[in-house]
Amino acid sequence: MSGHSKWSTIKHKKEANDAKKSKEFSKISTLITHAAKTGGGDAEMNPTLRMYIDKAKNIGFPIDNIERAIAKGTGEGGDGIEFYEVIYEGFGPEGIAIIVDCLTDNTNRTVSEIRRLFEDVGGSLGEAGSVSWNFDIKGEIDVRSGHKEKAEKYGDDDKFVEDDRDQVMMELIDIEGILDIREKDIDGLKGVEVFTEFKDMARVRDEIGKKLPYIIDNAYIIKIAKNKKKLEGEALEKVEKAIEKFEERDDVQDVWTDLDR
């Protein structure tokens, strides 16, 4: 039998999807543990933990695993695990600037892996400030364009019921500290992305959650390059592959570059 069968193609795609889901699960587990460690294991009292629990459910992360991740953070049933937020920066192929945000329980391991990755893609790990001077730090909050409704599907949690996106934007605009609101599709559903100054993000996120009946899908710090590089063809492909290699690492939470795309 020659060539590739349809079965082998499907099998390969499934393996790739399974690997991607496994990494998503690993990263959300780490985020839940870190949130529980820093803000406590009660989701009602810890909005960051609640947000990550909601996100975990959205991607199919099992409830038992969520509970175990929380227990790791709070130390219930054993020693709590300690995670550290670390940032690395340097230069990749084509001189592209790269910032790598990590959450790790072993900084020595992580710095070795990140240094090796920079070298593997033809770049080099730089010192603190070597590229970050070119980036502005802002807050982004992803909000689903719908209201919350109690539903059996999520037990005591909230079901998403889609509303008019323009109405959502009109209600959000009254919250102080919002710099911009843009349309964004979230998991195939209509949503908006809200931009704030870094210092205002947590307050704006909490106000949206308290004052409005909308589901916050995620809230995070974003780093936007002031001056960007435009690449095309093989150069662009080379840089995109390098970015993917960083994103594949379990300790890596976000990768920021000055690539114009």
CATH number at residue 22: 1.10.10.200
Tell which of 33, 57, 74 closes a domain.
Answer: 74
- Rounded CA gap, 53 and 149, in Å? 17
- Supply the pLDDT for residue 1: 46
- Supply the pLDDT for residue 214: 73
CATH code, domain carrying 119: 3.30.70.980
Alpha helices by DSSP H, the chain: 6-39, 47-58, 63-74, 107-120, 165-172, 201-211, 233-247
- Supply the pLDDT for residue 21: 76
* 108, 233: one domain: yes
Q: Cα dihedral sign for 124, 128, 129, 134?
A: positive
* 192, 131: one domain: yes
* 199, 146: one domain: yes
Q: 189-199 burial, b if ≥16 CB within 10 A, otherwise e? A: ebbbbbbbeee
Domain that holds residue 20: 6-74
CA angle 204–149–167, rounded 5-degree value? 55
Model pTM?
0.75
- Supply the pLDDT for residue 72: 87
Task: Report the SS3 class of residue 30.
Answer: helix
Task: Report the SS3 class of residue 223.
Answer: strand
Contact 42, 22 (CB under 8 A): no
Mean pLDDT calculated for residue range 85-94: 96
Contact 35, 67 (CB under 8 A): no
* 32, 87: one domain: no
* 158, 224: one domain: yes
Mean pLDDT calculated for residue range 114-137: 96
Identity at 225, one-letter amino acid code: A
* 40, 148: one domain: no
1 located within any domain: no
Confidence check: pLDDT of 39 > 90: no
> What total of structural domains would you count in the chain?
2
Tell which of 19, 49, 74 closes a domain.
Answer: 74
Confidence check: pLDDT of 229 > 80: yes
DSSP letter for 261, please. -
* 90, 116: one domain: yes
| 157 or 146, which is more confident | 146
| 121 or 8, which is more confident | 121
- Rounded CA gap, 226 and 207, in Å? 29
* 95, 115: one domain: yes
Confidence check: pLDDT of 160 > 50: no
- Supply the pLDDT for residue 4: 52
Mean pLDDT calculated for residue range 132-151: 78
* 99, 203: one domain: yes
* 50, 125: one domain: no
* 66, 94: one domain: no
- Percentages helix, strand, coil for the chain, rounded to the nearest 5? 45, 30, 25
Confidence check: pLDDT of 19 > 80: no
Tell which of 24, 49, 74 closes a domain.
Answer: 74
Mean pLDDT calculated for residue range 155-175: 68
* 129, 171: one domain: yes
